[in-house]
């Protein structure tokens, strides 16, 4: 068997294994919208840990993150900075949301906020913002999967074909099993990626430089600018500390606001499961360290890759490695893409139906019709993201950083919903609209920013100011029963 055949065979075996694992849970869940979206609220600590942790091991982790270390140096450390603290707000917000979910039947954060203020329009706006964030993030995963198969098959499988093959598998088990299919495949993929990341992170520097220490010594001598914090921009100029810091802050505040992560509050078996998951979550950052090391290993590697995002598969194909190792790498990179993509497409479709059709437009759907609509939207979201993936020409990291701006706008609304008594629905609605408009403006026209700060930070500032001003001008919503269920004492 040729080397290419071995690589393709290993990758195909992995995809078949994911399909089987993803299909299996369909026999264990009820045939209802709650079963499909929230897994009948039955997820334990192990699956919760991997369904949240494996999400950070996206295509960005295996491709974009090494690409940043390779081309922008220590700028890539920003993901460790926000990853260590990004889930911390969920320790306080998650259990409160879970109580409300069990009491009122919520399965999305927008449902919860709209019910708190008796304002369905809030759910509609949040559904639109969620899709604005999800589609580029999902496109990132698809594009990464296409990169991998195109590179390791030396163009035998083109990028658009690779993305279609991998996400055909994802589509099959998400349609069949819903969130439990996502959870069990994420557990399998997470364990696989952890082992592979450390193996490659230690093996490549040893093979190319004689160890991690000698590797950094050579980089310090030949490319010292890559080791000066906070790193470089995409043009090769020094990255401003203001933009680096604001990117970290926006990512921290936006991390637990991602709907596919926040929705896990409604799937957990208990509040203790949520808190335990948050405490354990930072350990996933340990497994991002070797990914960064791999990127640095490529700094002095010759020949250079066509694109920075392709440095990892490029090194694999230009280094004398056994075909089985290359095949395992390919499977690991596909696991990184799939472990995020499946959760996103499932959440995006659920949100459009629950928050858009059911809540915002008030269309009553019985549980079986609702599940059928979610499945239809899974296909629509998948196709839309695929179209963006095959047409987008920028970096994977660029898609990721953009996506955090919109979801960060949920933070003030969620905090107000769970804690504040004197905030009105109009204020929350106005803050969301102001935040997303300002964020989008500075994304489209970055040169108009008065300071080098992440667009999402400008949006968040506009969001909070608008929320506070409108709360002074409008009648507050004081639903004591709702807040008491959440755990906020009377006051």
What pLDDT does residue 210 have? 94
Phi/psi zone of residue 2: left (φ > 0), alpha (ψ -120 to 50 degrees), beta? beta
Using the predicted structure, report yes or no on whether residue 227 has a pLDDT greater than 50. Answer: yes
CB-CB contact of 167 with 145 (8 Å)? yes
Give the mean model confidence (pLDDT) for residues 169-180: 72
pLDDT digits (tens, 9 = 90+) for 67-124: 889 999 999 888 888 888 888 999 999 999 999 988 888 888 999 999 999 899 999 9
Task: Tell me the three state secondary structure of residue 1.
Answer: coil
What pLDDT does residue 72 have? 93
Can you tell me which residue has the tokens 């008030």?
A: 362
Torsion, CA 353, CA 355, CA 357, CA 362, rounded to 10: 140
CA end-to-end span of the chain, whole Å? 73
Lookup: tokens for 39? 């897994």
What pLDDT does residue 455 have? 93
| 3-408 CATH | 1.20.1730.10
Please name the residues in contact with 479: beta carbons below 8 A apart, sequence gap of 6 or more. Answer: 116
CB-CB contact of 74 with 223 (8 Å)? no
Q: What kind and span of H or E run contains 338?
A: helix 323-351
Lookup: tokens for 171? 């589509």
pLDDT digits (tens, 9 = 90+) for 89-98: 999 999 999 9
CA-based nearest residue to 345, from 133, 71, 125, 86:
133
Whole-angstrom CA distances from 415 to 250, 409, 486, 489 are: 15, 11, 12, 15
Give the mean model confidence (pLDDT) for residues 216-230: 95
| Number of CB atoms found within 10 A of residue 439's CB | 28
Least confident of 38-47, 131-140, 157-166, 455-464: 38-47
CB-CB contact of 339 with 4 (8 Å)? no
Give the mean model confidence (pLDDT) for residues 198-205: 89
CB-CB contact of 295 with 114 (8 Å)? no
Give the mean model confidence (pLDDT) for residues 4-23: 79
**What residues pair up with 74 in beta bridges, in sequence order?**
none
Q: At 268, phi and psi to the nearest 5? A: -70, 150
Lookup: tokens for 119? 């304002």
| Number of CB atoms found within 10 A of residue 383's CB | 11
What pLDDT does residue 87 have? 87
Task: Tell me the three state secondary structure of residue 373.
Answer: helix
What pLDDT does residue 250 have? 92
> Which one of 26-40, 140-154, 318-332, 349-363 scores highest in mean pLDDT?
349-363
DSSP 384-412: HHHHHHHH--S-HHHHHHHHHHHHHTHHH
Least confident of 51-65, 128-142, 165-179, 268-282: 51-65
Using the predicted structure, report yes or no on whether residue 153 has a pLDDT greater than 70. Answer: yes
Q: What are the b/e assignments for 124-144, b being 16+ CB within 10 Å?
A: bbbbbbbbbbbbbbbbbbbbb
CB-CB contact of 260 with 347 (8 Å)? yes
What pLDDT does residue 38 have? 45
Using the predicted structure, report yes or no on whether residue 2 has a pLDDT greater than 60. Answer: no
pLDDT digits (tens, 9 = 90+) for 386-445: 888 888 776 666 666 777 889 999 999 999 999 988 889 999 999 999 999 999 999 888
Least confident of 31-40, 138-147, 151-160: 31-40
Lookup: tokens for 420? 């504040």
Q: Could you state, in order of their start, the residue ranges of all structural domains in the chain?
A: 3-408
Provide the mean pLDDT of the chain. 83
CB-CB contact of 4 with 153 (8 Å)? yes
Cα(378)–Cα(332) distance, integer angstroms: 24
Using the predicted structure, report yes or no on whether residue 177 has a pLDDT greater than 70. Answer: no
> Which one of 23-27, 331-335, 460-464 scores highest in mean pLDDT?
460-464
The H-assigned helical ranges of 24-88 are: 33-38, 45-56, 59, 65-72, 78-85
pLDDT-derived band at 25 (thresholds 50, 70, 90) equals low
Please name the residues in contact with 324: beta carbons below 8 A apart, sequence gap of 6 or more. Answer: 6, 10
What pLDDT does residue 39 have? 47
Least confident of 85-99, 142-156, 300-314, 454-468: 142-156
């Amino acid at each position: 068997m040729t080397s290419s055949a071995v690589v393709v065979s290993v990758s195909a075996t992995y995809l078949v294994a994911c399909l089987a694992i993803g299909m299996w849970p369909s026999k264990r869940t009820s045939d209802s919208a709650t079963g499909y979206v929230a897994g009948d609220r039955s997820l334990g600590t192990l699956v919760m840990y991997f369904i949240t942790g494996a999400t950070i091991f996206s295509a960005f982790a295996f491709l974009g993150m090494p690409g940043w270390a390779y081309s922008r140096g220590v700028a890539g450390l920003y993901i460790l900075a926000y990853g260590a603290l990004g889930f911390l707000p969920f320790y306080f917000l998650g259990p409160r949301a879970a109580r409300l979910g069990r009491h009122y039947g919520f399965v999305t954060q927008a449902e919860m906020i709209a019910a708190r203020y008796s304002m369905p329009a809030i759910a509609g706006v949040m559904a639109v913002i969620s899709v604005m964030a999800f589609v580029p993030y999902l496109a990132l995963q698809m594009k990464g999967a296409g990169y991998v198969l195109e590179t390791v098959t030396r163009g035998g499988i083109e990028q658009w074909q690779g993305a279609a093959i991998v996400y055909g598998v994802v589509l099959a088990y998400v349609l069949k099993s819903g969130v439990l299919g996502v959870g069990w495949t994420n557990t399998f993929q997470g364990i696989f990626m952890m082992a592979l990341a450390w193996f490659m992170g230690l093996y490549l520097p040893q093979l190319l430089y004689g160890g991690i220490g000698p590797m950094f010594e050579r980089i310090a001598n030949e490319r010292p600018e890559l080791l000066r914090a906070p790193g470089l921009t995409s043009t090769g100029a020094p990255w401003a500390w203001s933009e680096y810091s604001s990117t970290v802050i926006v990512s921290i505040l936006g991390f637990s606001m991602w709907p596919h992560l926040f929705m896990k509050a409604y799937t957990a078996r208990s509040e203790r499961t949520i808190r335990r998951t948050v405490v354990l979550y930072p350990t996933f950052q340990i497994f991002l360290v070797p990914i960064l090391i791999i990127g640095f290993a490529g700094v002095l590697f010759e020949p250079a890759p066509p694109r920075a995002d392709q440095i990892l598969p490029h090194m694999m194909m230009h280094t004398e490695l056994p075909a089985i190792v290359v095949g395992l790498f390919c499977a690991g990179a596909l696991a990184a893409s799939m472990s995020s993509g499946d959760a996103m497409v499932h959440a995006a479709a659920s949100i459009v139906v629950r928050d858009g059709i059911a809540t915002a437009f008030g269309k009553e759907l019985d549980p079986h019709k609702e599940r059928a609509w979610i499945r239809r939207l899974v296909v629509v979201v998948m196709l839309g993201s695929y179209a963006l993936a095959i047409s987008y020409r920028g970096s994977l990291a660029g898609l990721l950083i953009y996506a955090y701006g919109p979801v960060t706008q949920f933070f003030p609304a969620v905090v107000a919903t769970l804690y504040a008594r004197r905030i009105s629905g109009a204020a929350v609605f106005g803050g969301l609209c102001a935040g997303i408009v300002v964020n989008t403006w500075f994304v489209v026209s970055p040169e108009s920013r008065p300071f080098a700060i992440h667009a999402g930070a400008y949006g968040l500032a506009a969001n909070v100011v608008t929320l506070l001003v409108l709360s002074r001008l409008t009648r507050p919503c004081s639903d004591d029963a709702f807040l008491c269920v959440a755990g906020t004492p009377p006051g």
